[in-house]
């Protein structure tokens, strides 16, 4: 029979330690509610003794969370334990998480004690914590570098004292999967009362082994995995919970375990954490990165069209993500271009696939990724429209005041006619430019990506702005370069407006032809 893996999330505690500034109570509460919706079993809400803000966060989360178990971190000190229990007093169910260094390095150089004193501290603290709850977790900090004799001894004693979960952390990401799995295996073989507690692991990613070590631990008998959303955390981060959960789901034939996580909430939770923590997700990040389900190779795209399982072991829909369209680049084959045209609603007899594909390759070689509107332009646009722009930036002026407000005054040539508009922004001058341009063209769109890069120094400095916008559910890209960042931004938007205008001409023409 398959056994359940308990998912312990420490995004709000260990994960927050990697951030440049602390999260507000409101921000932490939003993340906690998202974790609860995702089906996380245990939410480590914070370290209450560390600051008044952390105390308030734990207290607020404890009063709201219902289906997940709230947990607080505590050192093996009486005041820590009392404050942790007090902060969670309104929770329906809560856990106190005690930790103490057990490796020779930590015991002697950090704690300046001997191992017997450490063991006595742990036992005493656990007994105090049992006055508040019967759910006690004890972490053997730096377990990956603790001698097996000492590790087995302290695990046995803390279980006797009342600990119900024993956490074996690879605190500095030192071990490799076979080694770490063997530590868990030896604990099960050498600790006589090991069956009275859940064995948990908390791995760090200093050598890129966090997820691998966690999976190895599951194979050796661990039944709780600790980690964070997107793998955020100190130094190189923690075990990425979304990767562990999807590994368990995808390789259930091998691992023979399961979780209670709602898989369809993974993507949205990942994005919420990324946004609130102001930490971008790498494009090549497993499971939730922008490229996780992207296919650019023509051979891969052809294989996917025939059967998605040829090159996808996970479907984007399984984590709550909509079907991801192909990246159409110079590496894409004729089949992928034809397939995308079909998805847009165009029949093969309505265009010449040979001419389209030749033109597509020519453009893709120059600019890389090709968007839907560009395919339409290549397939249907008359020569008179292909290189025709009707919007041109004539002038741009920015005014600012001492209150931090900006006013953009812009003149755009639209089909040879001057249009002048102004707009204010209390955020930044680029936003003022954006608002003024929207007034001029009257296209309603939202910015999905704004990327700034620059080359050179001083007088040789050149700014390049790349923008992607969503207009009526379709993506348009634009690029602008200039010595002036604001002019580069305005020209990138102007480029998009010209593409939208041309796309609208093509769509209107096709509507007339179909009538």
In a domain, 376, yes or no: no
> Can you tell me whether residue 168 is helix, strand or coil?
strand
Confidence at residue 115, expressed as pLDDT on a 0 to 100 scale:
93
Lowest mean pLDDT, pick from 129-138, 203-212, 349-358, 406-415: 349-358
Dist. CA 161–CA 127, nearest whole Å: 6
Examine the domain organization and report whether 404 and 354 are in the same domain.
no
Report the percent of the chain where pLDDT is more than 70: 93
Domain boundary among 371, 406, 429: 371
Q: Mean per-residue pLDDT for 166-178?
A: 97
For the ranges 13-17, 370-374, 431-435, 509-513, the lowest mean pLDDT is seen at: 509-513
Judge if 270 and 151 occupy the same domain: yes
Given this model, what pLDDT does residue 31 score? Answer: 97
The whole-angstrom separation of Cα 412 and Cα 356 is 33
Q: Is residue 287, in this structure, part of any structural domain at all?
A: no
| Overall size of the chain counted in residues | 515
Is there a contact between 273 and 231 (Cβ–Cβ < 8 Å)?
A: no
pLDDT tens-digit map of 291-301: 777 665 656 66
Q: Do 120 and 232 fall within a single domain?
A: yes
What is the pLDDT averaged over residues 352-371? 83
Q: Give the pLDDT mean for 98-118.
A: 93
Reply yes or no on whether the pLDDT at 345 is more than 80. no
Average pLDDT over residues 233-241: 95
Are 75 and 101 in contact, with CB atoms under 8 Å apart?
no
| Across 57-61, 305-309, 469-473, least confident range | 305-309
Residue bearing the bigger pLDDT, 452 or 252: 252
Mean pLDDT of the region 165-169: 98
pLDDT band of 455, cuts 50, 70, 90: confident
Return the number of other C-beta atoms located less than 10 Å from residue 459's C-beta.
6
14 and 96, same structural domain? yes
Place of tokens 């631990």: 217
CB 240 within 8 A of CB 286: yes
Query: Which comes out higher in pLDDT, residue 307 or 320?
Result: 320
pLDDT value of position 321: 82
Residues 6+ apart with CB under 8 A from 278: 19, 20
Q: Is the pLDDT of residue 513 over 60?
A: no
Is residue 78 over pLDDT 90? Answer: yes
- Residue 373's Cβ-count burial label (10 Å; 0-12, 13-18, 19+) is buried
| pLDDT surpassing 70 at residue 385 | no
Do 253 and 308 reside in the same domain of the chain? no
For residues 494 and 362, membership in a common domain is answered with no
Q: Among 76-85, 325-334, 416-425, 496-505, whose mean pLDDT is lowest?
A: 325-334
Confidence tier at 511 by pLDDT (50, 70, 90): low
Give the integer Cα–Cα distance in Å for 6 and 44.
13
| CB of 55 closer than 8 Å to CB of 13 | no
The Cα-based distances of 227 to 40, 214, 419 in angstroms read 11, 9, 55
Grouping H, G, I as helix, E, B as strand and the rest as coil, residue 451 is: strand
Q: What is the mean pLDDT of the chain?
A: 89
Residue 73 tokens read as 């971190």
Give the pLDDT mean for 230-251.
Answer: 96
Q: Is residue 283 part of a domain?
A: no
**Is the pLDDT reported for residue 20 higher than 90?**
no
pLDDT above 90 (res 303) = no
Task: Clarify whether residues 222 and 184 are in a common domain.
Answer: yes
pLDDT of 387 higher than 70: no
Q: Which domain holds residue 98?
A: 3-277
- What is the mean predicted confidence (pLDDT) over 116-132? 96
Q: How far apart are CA 342 and CA 66, in angstroms?
A: 47
Q: Quick one: which H or E segment has residue 45?
A: strand 42-46
What's residue 51's pLDDT?
92
| Cβ partners under 8 Å of residue 179, min gap 6 | none
CATH number of 478's domain: 3.30.160.270
**Pick from 496, 435, 437, 436: which is nearest to 469 by CA?**
496
Contact (CB, 8 A) for 100 and 140 = yes
Are the C-beta atoms of 80 and 129 separated by less than 8 Å?
no
Measured from the Cβ of residue 446, the count of other Cβ atoms closer than 10 Å reads 7
Tokens of 351: 């265009």
**379 within a domain of the structure (yes/no):** no
Nearest to 259 by CA among 269, 245, 270, 247: 245
- For the chain, what is the domain count? 3
Residue 46: strand pairing partners: 72
DSSP 322: P
Report the range out of 335-344, 385-394, 399-408 with the highest average pLDDT. 399-408
Listed residues 277, 310, 332: the one ending a domain: 277
What's 133's domain CATH number?
3.20.20.70
Burial 352-368 (b: 16+ CB within 10 A, else e): eeeebbebbbeebeeee
Same domain, 367 and 244: no
Categorize the per-residue pLDDT at 86 as very low, low, confident or very high, splitting at 50, 70 and 90: very high
384 lies in a domain? no
Judge if 221 and 95 occupy the same domain. yes
Tokens of 202: 């908390």
Domain boundary among the residues 342, 371, 400 is at 371
Angle of helix 266-277 relative to helix 241-250, nearest 10 degrees?
170
| Helix, strand, coil shares, percent, the chain, to 5 | 50, 20, 30
Looking at the structure, do residues 113 and 218 belong to the same domain, yes or no?
Answer: yes
């Amino acid at each position: 029979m398959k056994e359940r893996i308990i998912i312990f999330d420490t995004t709000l505690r260990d994960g927050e330690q990697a951030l440049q500034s602390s999260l507000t109570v409101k921000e932490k509460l939003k993340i906690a509610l998202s974790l609860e919706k995702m089906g996380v079993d245990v939410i480590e809400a914070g370290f209450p003794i560390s600051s008044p803000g952390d105390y308030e966060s734990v207290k607020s989360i404890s009063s709201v969370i219902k289906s997940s178990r709230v947990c607080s971190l505590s050192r093996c000190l009486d005041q820590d334990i009392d404050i942790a229990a007090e902060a969670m007093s309104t929770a329906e169910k809560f856990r106190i998480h005690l930790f103490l260094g057990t490796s020779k390095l930590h015991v002697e150089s950090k704690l300046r004690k001997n191992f017997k004193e450490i063991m006595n501290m742990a036992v005493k603290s656990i007994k105090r914590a049992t006055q508040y709850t019967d759910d006690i977790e004890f972490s053997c900090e730096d377990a990956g570098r603790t001698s097996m004799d000492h590790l087995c001894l302290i695990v046995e004693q803390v279980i006797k004292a009342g600990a119900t979960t024993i956490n074996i952390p690879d605190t500095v990401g030192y071990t490799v999967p076979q080694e770490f799995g063997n530590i868990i295996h030896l604990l099960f073989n050498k600790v006589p009362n090991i069956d009275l507690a859940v064995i948990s692991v908390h791995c760090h990613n200093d050598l890129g082994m966090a997820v691998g070590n966690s999976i190895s631990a599951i194979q050796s008998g661990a039944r709780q995995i600790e980690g964070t959303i997107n793998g955020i955390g100190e130094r190189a981060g923690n075990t990425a919970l979304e990767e562990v959960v999807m590994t368990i789901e995808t390789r259930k034939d091998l691992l023979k375990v399961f979780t209670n996580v709602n898989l369809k909430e993974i993507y949205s939770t990942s994005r919420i954490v990324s946004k609130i923590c102001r930490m971008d997700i790498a494009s090549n990040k497993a499971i939730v990165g922008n490229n996780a389900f992207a296919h650019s190779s023509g051979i891969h795209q052809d294989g996917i069209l025939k059967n998605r399982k040829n090159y996808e072991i996970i479907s984007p829909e399984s984590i709550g993500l909509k079907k991801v369209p192909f990246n159409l680049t110079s590496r894409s084959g004729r089949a992928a271009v034809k397939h995308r045209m079909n998805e847009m609603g165009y029949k093969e007899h309505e265009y010449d696939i040979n001419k389209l594909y030749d033109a597509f390759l020519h453009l893709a070689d120059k600019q890389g990724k090709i968007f839907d509107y560009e395919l339409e332009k290549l397939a249907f646009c008359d020569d008179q429209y292909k290189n025709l722009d009707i919007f041109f930036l004539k002038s741009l002026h920015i005014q600012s005041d001492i209150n931090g407000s900006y006013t953009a005054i812009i003149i755009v040539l639209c089909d040879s006619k001057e249009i002048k508009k102004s707009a204010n922004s209390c955020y930044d001058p680029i936003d003022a430019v954006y608002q003024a341009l929207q007034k001029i063209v009257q296209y309603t769109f939202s910015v999905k990506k704004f990327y700034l890069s620059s080359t050179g120094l001083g007088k040789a400095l050149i700014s390049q702005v790349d923008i992607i916008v969503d207009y009526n559910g379709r993506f348009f890209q634009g690029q602008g370069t200039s010595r002036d960042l604001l002019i580069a931004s305005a020209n990138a938007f102007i480029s998009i407006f010209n593409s939208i205008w041309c796309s609208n001409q093509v769509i209107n023409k096709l509507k007339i032809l179909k009538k």
